Amino acid sequence: MPVSQNQDDGEKESEFDWLQLHNEIHTTTDETTQEKFLRKVKENPFVPIGCLATFGALSYGLWSFRQGKRQMSQYMMRLRIGAQGFTVVALIVGIGLSAARVRE
């Protein structure tokens, strides 16, 4: 009988841990989507800059291709690759900095 009671206590504690974790994850905030977006941009402004640069290079490259300017189109596609790389690096650095802030 004592073994089964210990198992029941362990299961109750485990269930309580899951409930506590669930409540911590699903805490309600009064933050709108726009406020969250602005907060994220302030935390790591280089990601949106990289996204806009990627979009601009892609758009202008496609427009140049349609106009028959092959050399400019090739240059813009190469610039797009660079902008995508910049965005990925900015994202990784931002995640690293956020993790470092949490540890402190």
CA dist., res. 38 & res. 35, Å (int): 5
pLDDT category, 101, cuts 50, 70, 90?
Answer: confident
Residue 26: pLDDT above 80? no
**Chain position carrying tokens 């797009």:** 80
Rounded to whole angstroms, the Cα distance separating 93 from 102 reads 14
C-alpha 32 chain-centroid distance: 17
Q: Which two tokens stand for residue 15?
A: 């269930």
Query: Confidence class of residue 5 from pLDDT cuts 50, 70 and 90?
Result: low
For position 7, what pLDDT does the model report?
A: 54
Mean pLDDT along residues 78-100: 94
